[in-house]
Structure 1
Amino acid sequence: MSKINNLIRVSEEQAKVAGKVLARAFHDYPTMNYLFPYEDEKSRKLPKIFEYLVRYGIMYGEVFSNSPNIEGVAVWLPFWEAEMTDDKVFKCAISYSDGRELGSILGEEYQKRYEPIEKCEYRCHKQYADFSHWYLYPIGVDPIHQGRGYAGLLLREKFAEIDKQNMPCYLETNTEKKVSLYQHFGFEIVEEGIIPEIDVPYWAMLRKKD
């Protein structure tokens, strides 16, 4: 089991479990409530979304947890792998549990609803981090383990490495509560607003290199 500092690198065999942890962490997230207005659909599909993101992170970046029990998960993508091109998505689909691309799993209605979110994220990412950086996408802690410092551990240990690389880091969040956490670790707000068409807030944040 590969480690960095005090973190555990999540393996493909752990991707489903890690995806479920993130799904529980983001269950009441504003964008997820918009994408899945019906509770039964959200409960079924969120684990699929986050398992897919974990597998993408394993394939094209780094995915860490705080312990083998996977109380929390952080997916880190180097800037050159952050854009999910059709080719990358196809390759990731091969490693997925049922071998299908995420769009076909979630359906056309999801893709239609996700479009304004995707456009906003892409524009902000391109505008404020069009240079070498790490992309934090996403980080979450299982609700039953929140408040124990796991998110801080996941950030602090990885930042120790990122700072040695003298690399900036970029992220987006849709909850004001998370903004103060990220600011504590050196992120600055570069843009905030409401995602057009869907009335969901967003904050684009950048942690600059030294």
Structure 2
Amino acid sequence: MPADLGDLLRLKKDQVGPAAEMLARAFDQDPKMDYFAPDDGTRGTIARHHFEFLLRYGLIYGEVYATSPRLEGVAVWLPAKKVEITLWRAFRAGLFRFRKGVGKEAMERIISFSEYVDGLHRRHMPGPHHYLFFIGVDPTFQGKGHASRLIRPMLDRLDREGLPCHLVTQNEQNVALYEHYGFRVIEHTVVPGTEVGNWAMVWEGGKNPGSATQ
């Protein structure tokens, strides 16, 4: 199992609930969440169940790091072969509880959205790599360097291992943030059936002038 990254903490199962609450706040204005839950009155509940499921998935199939026990920020990283959430993997991560928590309509939106993103991932990144599944920082603590603490140690490790990193974001404001760490946009699309933009990005380590090791 990979070693912990510096002073970051590996998230524990009993922290999933509080971490999901924080992520629901962090993604409250995210275009993707606005599409999943257009009703302001239900968005918080749907987002919490959504992130609980994704965090459980990350604990099983990848690495989940937090900045501290206060959970100022959380990041989930997945190896290439575990990025696609198959039915069996979803079942292990709590599919039935997830579906009950978000409801039928939101679940259908989430599934169709995920299938599109998975298709892009397979096309763009067929070889070995790592995937930044998602990162979120509590709005109270944004702008204080917590995103950097979560991103740079992993990119340094991937640089040593010679692996590229892939991510997607649906928030145009995040593109410049990721470019700051050396990611570059490889495709910008609009998710079919929605008005949500999708930016696919890749980081290539020492090949990129913005490498975290420089």
SS in 2 for 1:202: strand
Q: CA deviation at 1:114?
A: 2.6
SS in 2 for 1:68: coil
Q: CA deviation at 1:132?
A: 1.0
SS in 1 for 2:99: helix
Pairing of 1:1-210 with structure 2 (within 5 A): 3-93=4-94, 100-210=96-206
TM-score normalised over the length of structure 1 = 0.92
SS in 2 for 1:199: coil
TM-score normalised over the length of structure 2 = 0.90
Q: CA deviation at 1:205?
A: 0.3
CA contact (8 A) 2:167 2:200 kept: yes
| Regions of 4+ moved over 4 Å | none
CA contact (8 A) 1:7 1:64 kept: yes
Q: Answer with 116-125 or 44-53: which moved more.
A: 116-125
CA contact (8 A) 2:155 2:205 kept: no
CA contact (8 A) 1:116 1:195 kept: no
Q: Answer with 106-115 or 174-183: which moved more.
A: 106-115
> In the aligned structure 2, how far is the partner of 1:117 from the partner of 1:146?
27
> In the aligned structure 2, how far is the partner of 1:76 from the partner of 1:139?
9
Q: CA deviation at 1:106?
A: 1.8
Measured on the aligned residues, the alpha-carbon RMSD in Å equals 1.5
Aligned AA (1:33)? D
Q: CA deviation at 1:31?
A: 1.1
- Unaligned runs of 5+ residues in structure 1 are 94-98
SS in 1 for 2:96: coil
- Unaligned runs of 5+ residues in structure 2 are 207-214
Q: CA deviation at 1:175?
A: 1.3
> In the aligned structure 2, how far is the partner of 1:53 from the partner of 1:74?
11
SS in 1 for 2:93: helix
Q: CA deviation at 1:23?
A: 1.0
CA contact (8 A) 1:6 1:157 kept: no
Q: CA deviation at 1:19?
A: 1.1
> In the aligned structure 2, how far is the partner of 1:86 from the partner of 1:202?
24
CA contact (8 A) 1:174 1:200 kept: yes
> In the aligned structure 1, how far is the partner of 2:156 from the partner of 2:205?
12
Q: CA deviation at 1:104?
A: 3.4
Aligned AA (2:27)? F
